């Protein structure tokens, strides 16, 4: 499938909001507020414009992904990392590899910008294929009451999490 991935623009925001709502509409685990989370994150210091991406097919936006800045806190130490949340594909385009392309493109761009790891809360059958592992295996804990298998972390650079442990501090926008 012919897909073009590029950073989002302000003119895309309204369409992206609808896309995210549509993508999560039938997701049992969703609070159906992911589009509002994206709106809040865009206004926050956690937003990195180069890591908010859309996938286009035939000039139409069919997918979106957002990585935002956060920290893994270990006592006095603050390790910079990223949150992947959310990733969304229009329902009629799901299962065609667009989500995978967005995730890989976001990884490449984050690595090029110098980031070394990403954390996320997600499905245990989907994310391991992109290198995510249960975060507790790195000694990383999450501030959510979620099953350990769904709290995941991945190294953008080999060994990047070897000496990183602690609790993930999500941007405040995640709790509003």
Ligand X SMILES: CC(C)(COP(=O)(O)OP(=O)(O)OC[C@H]1O[C@@H](n2cnc3c(N)ncnc32)[C@H](O)[C@@H]1OP(=O)(O)O)[C@@H](O)C(=O)NCCC(=O)NCCS
Residue ranges in contact with ligand X by CB under 6 A: 23-24, 27, 86-89, 94-100, 122-123, 125-126
67: part of which helix (H) or strand (E)? strand 60-74
Nearer to ligand X, 23 or 53 (CB): 23
Nearer to ligand X, 95 or 114 (CB): 95
Q: Are 53 and 82 in contact (CB under 8 A)?
A: no
Query: Closest residue (Cβ) to ligand X?
Result: 99
Nearer to ligand X, 62 or 110 (CB): 62
Q: Are strands 133-134 and 151-155 parallel, antiparallel or unpaired?
A: antiparallel
Going by C-beta distance under 8 Å and a sequence separation of 6 or more, which residues neighbour residue 18? 35
Q: Of 47, 45, 52, 43, nearest to 106 (Cα)? A: 52
Q: How far is the CB of 156 from ligand X (least distance, A)?
A: 19
Nearer to ligand X, 27 or 176 (CB): 27
Q: How far is the CB of 8 from ligand X (least distance, A)?
A: 16
Question: In whole angstroms, what is the distance from residue 60 CA to residue 67 CA?
Answer: 21
Q: How far is the CB of 109 from ligand X (least distance, A)?
A: 17
């Amino acid at each position: 499938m012919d897909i073009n991935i590029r950073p989002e623009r302000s003119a895309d925001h309204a369409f992206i909001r609808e896309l995210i709502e549509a993508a999560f509409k039938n997701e049992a685990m969703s609070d159906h507020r992911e589009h509002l989370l994206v709106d809040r994150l865009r206004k926050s210091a956690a937003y990195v414009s180069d890591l908010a991406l859309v996938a286009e097919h035939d000039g139409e936006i069919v997918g979106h992904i957002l990585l935002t800045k956060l920290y893994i806190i270990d006592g006095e130490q603050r390790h910079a990392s990223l949150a992947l949340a959310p990733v969304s594909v229009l329902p009629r385009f799901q299962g065609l590899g667009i989500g995978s392309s967005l995730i890989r493109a976001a990884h490449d761009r984050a690595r090029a910008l110098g980031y070394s790891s990403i954390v996320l809360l997600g499905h245990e059958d989907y994310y391991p294929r992109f290198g995510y592992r249960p975060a507790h295996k790195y000694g990383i804990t999450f501030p959510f009451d979620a099953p350990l298998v769904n709290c995941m972390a991945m190294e953008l650079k080999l060994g990047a999490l070897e000496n990183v442990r602690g609790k993930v501090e999500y941007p405040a926008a995640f709790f509003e």
